[in-house]
């Protein structure tokens, strides 16, 4: 009887640990989702409820008036068109920046992964150092360079800045991934007569789905949420949604409207949330498959 009881006792340990893990994950999810829920609740309140001062209360008469105002009539200085003009600007800035920086990082990473030399390690070290240089330290030289070539405060200029500033990060991720690919694959391609670019485009890139998804999501999130570079380099005709959002929140015309500000913040965040909801499992699969190993 004693031996039977002894065998049953360990079964309680894993079950208790699993329950504790679920409780911890639930509490963590509530902790991180609570600010989002509060923003959603208050964006649905009219100003009469906001003025009562209880931001934790549920909306009594919920409506989307603040969302409509944030989208099409909130003032960003002298212009009262909401965040709507910034949506297309953010899209046309983010998509080419993500595509170019991801493909260029993949090419650089594959080249550095295939280059078996101490010079390759030195170049990779310099690329890694570039990750730790803050943007603020490079703003003035970048402004001077783009001004001299006529790209400062232009659409091409802001895309170029995002690509260049993102290359060290994407190169590091791809290089760490490609060093784990067997050299026999590239050797077999060379024996069949494929050159470097042909091997990369036809063989290496198709088997890089995991890392491509991970890097694309990270780049999309970083570029879409960027404020500093968009404010400095985009120009007045290409200001992204994040700059429009800041202008709405900091607008000094009339009384402050917290519900409109919260609605504008949610509208600005929706694209990144959609990307994560649609491709989150591929992101996790890429992480689990070793897309950021090294």
pLDDT tens for the 294 residues of the chain, in order: 445 444 555 555 678 888 888 999 999 988 988 988 999 999 999 988 888 878 888 898 899 999 999 999 888 777 888 899 899 999 999 999 999 999 999 999 998 888 777 777 788 888 888 888 888 888 999 999 999 999 999 999 999 999 999 999 999 899 888 888 888 888 888 888 888 888 899 889 988 888 898 999 999 999 999 999 999 999 888 999 999 999 888 875 666 788 999 999 999 999 998 888 888 777 777 666 655 554
Domain-embedded: residue 75: no
Q: What DSSP string runs through 205-240? A: GGG-HHHHHHHHHHHHHHHHT--HHHHHHS-GGG--
Q: How far apart are CA 86 and CA 148, in angstroms?
A: 27
- Max Cα-Cα span within the chain: 87
Query: Nearest to residue 176, comparing CAs of 261, 108, 244?
Result: 108
172 and 231 part of one domain = yes
Do 123 and 267 sit in the same domain of this protein? yes
CA angle 126, 131, 133 (to 5 degrees): 95
Q: What is residue 116's three-state secondary structure?
A: coil
Q: Is 68 inside a domain boundary?
A: no
Q: Which domain holds residue 29?
A: 12-63
Which residues, 6+ apart, have CB-to-CB distance to 292 below 8 Å?
A: 173, 176, 177, 211, 214, 286
**pTM for this model (two decimals):** 0.85
114 and 230 fall within a common domain: yes
> Distances from the Cα of 139 to the Cαs of 3, 89, 233, in angstroms?
71, 21, 10
């Amino acid at each position: 009887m004693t031996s039977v009881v002894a065998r049953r006792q360990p079964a309680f340990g894993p079950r208790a640990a699993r329950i504790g893990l679920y409780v911890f994950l639930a509490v963590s999810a509530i902790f991180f989702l609570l600010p989002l829920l509060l923003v959603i609740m208050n964006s649905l309140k009219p100003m009469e409820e906001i003025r009562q001062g209880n931001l934790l209360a549920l909306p009594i008469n919920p409506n989307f008036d603040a969302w409509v105002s944030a989208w099409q009539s909130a003032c960003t200085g002298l212009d009262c068109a909401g965040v709507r003009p910034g949506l297309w600007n953010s899209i046309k800035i983010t998509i080419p920046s993500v595509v170019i920086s991801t493909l260029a990082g993949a090419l650089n990473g594959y080249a550095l992964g295939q280059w078996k030399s101490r010079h390759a390690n030195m170049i990779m070290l310099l690329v890694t150092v570039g990750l730790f240089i803050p943007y603020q330290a490079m703003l003035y030289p970048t402004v001077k360079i783009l001004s001299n070539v006529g790209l400062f405060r232009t659409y091409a200029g802001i895309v170029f800045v995002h690509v260049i500033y993102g290359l060290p990060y994407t190169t590091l991720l791809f290089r760490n991934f490609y060093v784990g690919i067997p050299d026999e694959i590239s050797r077999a391609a060379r024996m069949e007569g494929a050159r470097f670019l042909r091997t990369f485009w036809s063989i290496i890139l198709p088997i890089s789905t995991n890392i491509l998804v991970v890097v694309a999501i990270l780049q999309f999130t970083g570029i879409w949420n960027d404020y500093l570079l968009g404010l400095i380099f985009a120009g007045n005709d290409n200001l992204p949604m994040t700059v429009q959002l800041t202008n709405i929140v900091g607008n000094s015309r009339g009384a402050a409207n917290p519900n409109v500000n919260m609605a504008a913040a949610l509208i600005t965040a929706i694209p990144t949330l959609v990307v994560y909801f649609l491709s989150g499992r591929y992101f996790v699969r890429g992480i689990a498959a070793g897309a950021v190993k090294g």
